[in-house]
Each structure stands twice: as C-alpha cells, then as structure tokens.
Amino acid sequence: MASEGSDRAACEVWFYHLERTGLDQALPELLEKTLQRGWKAVVRSSAAERIDHLDGWLWSYRDESFLPHAPSDEPGAARQPILLTTSQENPNQADALFLIDGAEPGELDGYKRCVVLFDGNDDDQLRKARRQWSAVKARGFPVSYWKQQARGWEKQA
C-alpha cells in the first residue's frame, strides 16, 4: 500500500498520453521541468536499445542545451541528476521516475512522482497503460491522466 501510516506523502502517478509528439520531444521537456524543481530523475525503459538512444539524444536534442545524465552501467552514474536504466533500482535517489516503453513501476517508495509516458497511437502501449493505471490505483496511489492537446498538456482525470 502506498506509504500507509507514514509521514511521507504517497508517490503521485501521472499518465502522459502522447498523441501530438513522440517520446523524443516530450521526455526532454518533462526532464527539464523535473531538474528545475531541484529533483533528480530515473528514466526506466524495458528496452536496452532505448537507453542507448536516449544516452546520445539527451546530449544533443537541442543546440543550446543538454540534460546531464548517464546510463546506470557507467561509473559514477549514481551521482547523475538523470539516470537511464532498465533496472528497478534508484541508485541516484531520484525524486521522479519516468516509465517508457511499457516499463513496470515496481516499488515506488522514495519517489515523489512517477510519470508513465505512452504512445496513444500504439494499441499495445494503450492496453499496458490501462493495466498499469488500474494496478497503481488499486495499490492506493494518487493517479492523474494527462492528454496531449494542441495547446499543451491537459489534465483529463
């Protein structure tokens, strides 16, 4: 159960339904906002090849900036503000967990927020996100659903 009987607030679980842009556009923006809050992040994928892709992409996605990060298998990765991984661990003591490619949340203790990003044009990802929504809600976590609109993200539930 989510932080039952503890002084710490339960991790908020936010579902982001991608419709207008892909993950490569949406994830860096959300990671920037996370760092602006003074939080650290873990980005968990179910696919090692996605981690390899993001490792290069987050250095170059925008000419005027980059996001400091490392894959979890690099030396000193635990000191990074953004950690890329396929594992269930939180070695950088991140405040935010980003789940992509259908990665499972696992234990959410220690996180303030878990963000599930899924492609609204992929039936498999939609089914998995619906299953994850039901599972985290049943575990007692506060959940929100955000849908990509023409004017930005809009909270739907």
Interval 103-132 mean pLDDT: 94
List, in order, residues 6 or more apart from 29 with CB less than 8 Å away.
none
Between β-strands 152-155 and 143-149, what pairing exists: parallel, antiparallel or unpaired? antiparallel
Question: What percent of the chain is modeled with pLDDT above 70?
Answer: 94
**pLDDT of 35-71, one tens digit each?**
999 999 999 999 999 999 999 999 988 888 789 999 9
Query: What pLDDT does residue 154 have?
Result: 80
Q: C-alpha angle with apex 155: 153 to 157, nearest 5 degrees?
A: 150
H or E, element range at 55: helix 48-60
Which one of 3.40.1050.10, 3.40.50.10110, 3.30.460.80, 3.30.420.40 gives the CATH number of domain 12-151? 3.40.50.10110
Domain ranges of the chain: 12-151
pTM here is 0.91
